[in-house]
A and B are shown apart, each in its own frame.
Chain A
Amino acid sequence: MNLLRALCRLAAALVLAGGLAACASIPPGAGSTPVDPLEVYNRHMFDFNDRVDRAVLKPVAQAYEAVVPKDLRVCVNNAFLNLLEPVNAINNLLQGKPLTAITDICRFAVNTTMGLLGCFDIATTGGLAPRSNEDFGQTLGRWGVLPGPYFVLPFLGPSTIRDTFGRLFDFLGTDPIWYIEDIPVRNSLVGARLVDTRASLLPAEKVLEAAALDKYQFVRDAYLQLRRNLVYDGNPPRLKDPDEEDSDDTPPAKSPDSPAPVADQPLPAQPR
């Protein structure tokens, strides 16, 4: 785990340099939002991740974007997503969607061979269903496991308690990259994938910087909604709007918190 060791050393250096605790600004009332009882810890970790990102990952991703032509970047991105097709298949199977799992495997076979190691997504072009996006956290959600508190992971970013377990399972069990036995090759691929991912987020980041009054909160709430949407494969049941101002006569002073946006429930039926 050279990569991890290097990251740890880097983290230690950054903590010493920056004074981790001193840096995040914690607003009054932190931790009172139902979905985020760990807000104080989370804000510190978010801040820490942000510094690591600005010091290392983001500059590398920007350089990658500046140097490598767009077509090649799309190819690399496709190839990494293609590597995850088996993960999609396993999780679709675990979620009781065998037909989708078969499609995932077909996609993987077609794109890995005729699509030149996944560089081209000819499965979609050729009319197969588009790529699914599954992981074990979603599988747990589908089985009825609630997400639990929001939880920011060191280096990896937004998560929940459930998704942290899910990610651990992905990491230990299904993510093909970690099965590569040649350690330098594996670590290079892991690093390249990280840069690829980060680079694909650069445009979104600009919007985020503009849109968010409080970046931490904005990312958190988007993450929670996003995961809920993924668990339900794009069709989550609608949450009650707290738009009760004409019908609801309870005093407004109470209830500073809106309903938790993460009330996943076990799926009654397959939406498609």
Chain B
Amino acid sequence: MSYRTIVTSLAIAALIGGGLAHGQAVQAQGTAAASVSAPDALVKSLSEDVLASIRKDPTLQSGDVARLNALVDEKILPHVNFEKMTRLAVGRSWRDASAEQRQALTREFRSLLVRTYAGAVSTAKDYQVQMKPFRAEPAETDVTVRTQAVPARGEPIQLDYRLEKTSAGWKIYDVNVLGVWLVENYRNTFTGEISRGGIDGLIKSLVDRNKALESKTS
């Protein structure tokens, strides 16, 4: 069924962006309570909050990177562990990286993700987020929260999050769009870049990519 497969795989790609955008976007005027509440409640409030922000902000919908960055900083960042996300995507080479390299990797990866979402934000406003049943033992510190994004018409999109419990509350560290985990999808690419050019080679690729995207949008 080439038809469906292709469609879905494309949709994925589109949504990887969108998904992260939500994934990270959450907890707006978030009360302090959100950081200690259950992980599914966090995802729900964050999703709704971010979607609400997008819906009422035409500048954001137009894919304005600066505005999106501000949104990420304000709402999403407090609930996302970008460093863990980057560490998992980099894999084993992470422990060979110096503190500066780790910082650079995290910064550039985050920047790439934000720029990617910028292209998908305009479509996000047409979706509603529905939570799927969530079961976890109270003692668990690593959970998956399942949701779906439902458009006004058309097929719902699977959107899942992995969260880890930290002393500062639950933190999202991976996002799944239509069955594709973001971290896993970057892992082979990162591994390949590192095997060819080392960690600095990967940093350079990310920097170049971000510069190219920047010059395209500005």
Residues of chain A at the chain B interface (Cβ within 8 Å): 27-29, 33, 74, 77, 80-81, 84, 87, 121, 130-131, 133, 135, 137, 153, 156-159, 163, 167, 170, 175, 193-194, 197-198, 200-201, 203-208, 210-214, 217-223, 225-230, 234, 236, 238-239, 241-245, 248, 252, 255-258, 261
Contact = CB atoms under 8 A, between A and B. Distances in A.
Nearest to B195: A256
B120 interface: yes
B179 A87 contact: no
Contacts of B49: none
Contacts of B185: 218, 221-222, 225
Nearest first, the 8 closest Cβ-Cβ pairs linking A and B are: A229-B179, A204-B14, A201-B10, A208-B13, A204-B10, A135-B1, A207-B17, A211-B116
A33 to B, nearest CB: 6
8 contacts: A135-B1, A158-B5, A203-B14, A214-B189, A223-B5, A226-B178, A252-B93, A258-B184
Interface string B145-165: 000000001111010000000
B40 interface: no
A220 B10 CA distance: 12
Contacts of A230: 8, 179
Contact of B96 (A241, A242, A252, A256): A252
A207 B196 contact: no
Interface string B188-208: 110111111000000001100
B12 A156 contact: no
Given A27-B196, A29-B195, A175-B1, 19 more contacts: A130-B156, A193-B3, A200-B10, A201-B7, A204-B10, A207-B17, A208-B10, A211-B112, A213-B206, A214-B192, A217-B192, A221-B187, A222-B180, A225-B184, A229-B178, A234-B158, A242-B91, A244-B92, A252-B93
A198 B15 CA distance: 16
Contact of A223 (B9, B93, B187): B9
A84 B18 contact: no
Given A157-B2, A243-B88, A252-B92, A258 B10 contact: no
Interface in B1-59: 1-18
Contacts of A222: 9, 12-13, 16, 180, 185
B156 A27 contact: no
Given A29-B196, A135-B1, A256-B195, A225 B10 contact: no
B117 to A, nearest CB: 8
B123 interface: yes
A163 B88 CA distance: 29
A257 B184 CA distance: 12
A255 B96 CA distance: 14
B9 A210 contact: no
A206 B1 contact: no
Interface in B45-96: 87-88, 91-96
A92 B213 CA distance: 43
Interface of B: 1-18, 87-88, 91-96, 112-113, 115-116, 118-120, 123, 144, 153-156, 158, 178-181, 184-189, 191-196, 205-206, 209, 213
A77 B151 CA distance: 14
B1 A207 contact: no
Contacts of A226: 5, 8-9, 12, 178-180
Contact of B196 (A28, A200, A248, A258): A28
A84 B1 contact: yes
Contacts of A236: 179
A258 B191 contact: yes
Contacts of B189: 212-214, 217-218, 221
Contacts of A193: 3
A209 to B, nearest CB: 8
A252 B181 contact: no
Contacts of A234: 158, 179
Contacts of A200: 7, 10-11
A268 to B, nearest CB: 18
A210 B213 contact: yes
B184 A239 contact: yes
Contacts of B118: 210
Contacts of B155: 81, 130-131
Nearest to A133: B4
Contacts of B205: 213
A153 B88 CA distance: 31
Contacts of B91: 242, 258
